[in-house]
Amino acid sequence: MATLPFSATCGQSKSASHPKFDSRFTDFYRRLNHSSLFLITTSSSRMARNLCVKNVASNKKQQVKETTRDTTGEAFVPDSASIASSIKYRAEFTPSFSPEKFELSKAFFATAQSVRDILIINWNATYDYYEKMNVKQAYYMSMEYLQGRALLNAIGNLQLSGPYAEALKRLGINLENVANQEPDAALGNGGLGRLASCFLDSLATLNYPAWGYGLRYKYGLFKQRITKEGQEEAAESWLEMGNPWEIARNDVSYPVKFYGEVISGPNGNKEWVGGENIWAIAYDVPTPGYKTKTTINLRLWSTKVSPEEFDLKAFNAGDHAKAYAAMKNAEKICYILYPGDESIEGKTLRLKQQYTLCSASLQDIIARFEKRSGNTVNWDNFPDKVVVQMNDTHPTLCIPELIRILIDVKGLSWEEAWAITRRTVAYTNHTVLPEALEKWNLKLLEELLPRHVEIIRMIDEELVQEIIAEYGTDDLELLQQKFKKMRILENIELPNSVADLLNSLNEKSDVISTEEVDEKSDIVDSTEEVDANDGEDTIKKTKGTFEVDPKLPMMVRMANLCVVGGFSVNGVAEIHSKIVKDEVFNEFYELWPEKFQNKTNGVTPRRWIRFCNPDLSNIITKWIGTEDWVTDLEKLAVLRKFANDENLQLEWREAKRRNKIKVASYLIEKTGYVVSPDAMFDVQVKRIHEYKRQLLNIMGIVYRYKKMKEMSSEERKKKFVPRVCIFGGKAFATYVQAKRIVKFITDVGATVNNDPEIGDLLKVVFVPDYNVSVAEMLIPGSELSQHISTAGMEASGTSNMKFSMNGCILIGTLDGANVEIREEVGEDNFFLFGARAHEITGLRKERAEGKFVPDPRFEEVKAFVRSGVFGPYNYEELMGSLEGNEGYGRADYFLVGKDFPSYLECQEMVDEAYQDQKRWTRMSILNTAGSYKFSSDRTIHEYARDIWRIEPVLLP
């Protein structure tokens, strides 16, 4: 059977025997097992291999059996009858469900497993070939993978959508209904995880040798419920029925240690002993490329302890909590994505998660490298075969962990390990927000990972020496400023060797400066032309203070560690990368300009047009004349020459309306609100955060509603275009202000949607539990999409790309990828408002000085909200955050009030444009036509060429 190559022996079983067993299933699996690679093309090869993904953690040699392929010499393409038989077999012989029932949930599980059986053939062959060729491989390290549902994506990439639909029809079931049974994999939250999943899709489609690493979260972030109290959180249950896509690798596990102490051996070698020991267990998920044999792997780690850790004596004595404390302590590491970190326990758990990802993954990578190297391992070649990409700062501990393994386990010197690490690890920065540029308390980190803190201190010392070598010691104040901004260790004493040097220089500068003052005094006496302050200035230029402040915490700056330890640092949009170089890491950029790059994000056009919007995809293919655009998105530009064609515009509008009807149906089901598909669908869906400014959007809606209420029925119908304003996104559980914003949106919706005077002219709907599957339905039906973050604060954004690809027009600031989208789709096809990034600092300074004068319309809205029109909830804290000139949680840090008048005026332009449907449709077409730059295929090509230095590997 197809799954058997993953067993310990890679053996092959005999055919199943059962009275209900369909002979077509036997043929399906026989041919599948004898087919080396599955693809909808023929192959001239006559031989195939029954392949295994081997346990590289084991030293045991495993045999790879040769088998003769099917006598036709062609790759096996299953038809609907054989697929139906395989589904029936899986339904009968998979023990996850009762045998007497064949309900939708069971049908999904059986269908998914039958697809996985097909994927395994290419999956095994892909990595067998990579090992045989010993290619350089990229390893993508991310705390999040927001994949969405996998079934339709997998059969779409395999070009089997039709046969699977027909097979399920034979069984009396609809493919769409089966697909809807699949829960979204709860492995991510926002753009970081969605980007990682898009990258895996592109890596497989473009045939790049790569592997993803993450954690297998049992409960995800949380399931969001919207009640009259606002957002409520519940545990996500995506694994409750099992995951048919994953393969548990119980024979692939690595030890991970916490706490303990570091002891020195007689030769100066270090050993980390004692402490808490757990095991990371591998779960593998196949990721198929589109129209290619390549199927790459996402390896997720789960955590446990050995059975010996269960305290049987305590259990029998009745102390059950003590008996399984070690087990629960290990398992909880992979319970929740981003556990709350307000407490020490929460912070510790987050650090454990990050270290588990880094340690288990690097042990696995090194095991694979050693296996491929054979009998002779040359560690100098490690960076020529391995590149590790850290997706944000969460995997920063990869740097000290790689050094630890190389020195303490593999016996390399510090110099060798440091040089190898700096050639192996690369860093993607995803934010300019200070709170997201992670810092960890030194005491906490030292207690949990004592050996790593030793290594981080050594890296910091290397950095300090490099700074001194670059800037010299003539100007100690300059040196102090560089240390303050660049050091990995914040508010921590300098290394002894450096401190002694600088203290001696300080003492010397005191003497020299005093002598200079005396000399200048003599000159003053004779010339009377030198300012008396010149001597003091001389002292300031030469003398620096390198003491720590006992009132401030001692911290480890993870982003600085990434920059120092990595060979490449990239931002994710042009404006973001410029801010990274000019502001966030300017001192590092001046020291190492060659490290810094831009890699504008992208999204996969397979999931985000081809599969989620088939109506639009068919129109694109018809007018372009080829379906090649699915893997070569530049072909979308051909649509530009048809943008004014009335026939295309008619088809375009009809497709959009069909998608809007689907959205309207979904909103009734999930929220109870009835909306008209004739209204403009205005959407803002993303993580709820103050800088993303959902508050600006809803306050604009409140202003619109107030103006409507002040008009007669005839006046408001003439003035306003009907709108359905849709929100979606999760506020982090402990982010109080974000949760207030969710509550505010839902309260406005409850009032507006039940106002008979307004009717269909305005609706406000908050979609609960926003995820990838919801996005796949909402985005094709959207007409206006809001990307209105405070300029300079959004690194890139990827939802803006998805909306634009699907012919949705954007309203937004010049922030993140909005800048490049506007350039590509044309300024006339993007609604722009708001302050520019370079103005933000000055505007905040102006506010602090009490010079900001709010627009009367803004004050009007705040007063309207405070009047209680939207219910009894007290919105004083929310409105108060937009007032005052300084203070935490006040002074409108995100400039909602500043941009409010510009936003209102821009929305008037939106209404005007929408009233001219021919103009609007043209804008929509040009958005799709101009979105080609924002394919993740383009992004991955750039990563592969400029950072990873890997080449596509085509399987024979």
Tell me which residues are annotated as active site: 430, 686-687, 692, 798, 802
Spatial distance between the Cα atoms of 656 and 649, rounded to a whole number of angstroms:
10
Residue 657 contacts residue 689 (beta carbons within 8 Å): no
Q: What are phi and psi of 196, to 5 degrees?
A: -60, -40
DSSP per-residue letters across 335-391: T-SS---SSHHHHHHHHHHHHHHHHHHHHHHHHHHHHHHTT---GGGHHHHEEEEEE
> 647 CB contacts (<8 Å, ≥6 apart)?
none
Q: Among positive and negative, which fits the CA dihedral 408, 410, 415, 420?
A: negative
Which amino acid is located at 394 in the chain? H
Q: Among positive and negative, which fits the CA dihedral 66, 69, 75, 79?
A: negative
Spatial distance between the Cα atoms of 250 and 580, rounded to a whole number of angstroms:
42
What would you measure as the largest C-alpha separation in the chain, in angstroms?
117
Closest CA to 202 of 296, 263, 289, 297: 289
Collapsed DSSP state (helix, strand, coil) of residue 712: coil
Closest CA to 843 of 895, 908, 806: 895
DSSP per-residue letters across 77-146: ---HHHHHHHHHHHHHH-TTS-TT---HHHHHHHHHHHHHHHHHHHHHHHHHHHHHHT--EEEEE-S---
Helix, strand and coil content of the chain, in percent to the nearest 5, comes to 50, 15, 35
Tally DSSP H helices, then E strands, for the chain: 37, 24
Question: Could you count the other beta carbons within 10 Å of the beta carbon of residue 227?
Answer: 10
Spatial distance between the Cα atoms of 180 and 195, rounded to a whole number of angstroms:
23
Closest CA to 231 of 668, 684, 731, 770: 731
Q: Which two tokens stand for residue 903?
A: 């936003």
User: Can you tell me which residue has the tokens 């089966």?
Assistant: 178
Question: Could you count the other beta carbons within 10 Å of the beta carbon of residue 59?
Answer: 9
Q: What are phi and psi of 317, to 5 degrees?
A: -85, 0
DSSP code of residue 450: H
Collapsed DSSP state (helix, strand, coil) of residue 718: helix
Residue 80 contacts residue 170 (beta carbons within 8 Å): yes
Q: Which two tokens stand for residue 865?
A: 């909200």
Residue 900 contacts residue 855 (beta carbons within 8 Å): yes
User: Can you tell me which residue has the tokens 């909880």?
Assistant: 332
Spatial distance between the Cα atoms of 156 and 177, rounded to a whole number of angstroms:
16
Spatial distance between the Cα atoms of 838 and 722, rounded to a whole number of angstroms:
36
Spatial distance between the Cα atoms of 612 and 603, rounded to a whole number of angstroms:
13
Q: Which two tokens stand for residue 947?
A: 């950072």
Nearest-Å Rg of the Cα atoms of the chain is 30
Positions of E strands within 628-713: 680-685
Spatial distance between the Cα atoms of 465 and 480, rounded to a whole number of angstroms:
13
H or E element: which one contains 179? helix 175-179
Spatial distance between the Cα atoms of 347 and 345, rounded to a whole number of angstroms:
5
Spatial distance between the Cα atoms of 285 and 281, rounded to a whole number of angstroms:
13
Spatial distance between the Cα atoms of 38 and 122, rounded to a whole number of angstroms:
6
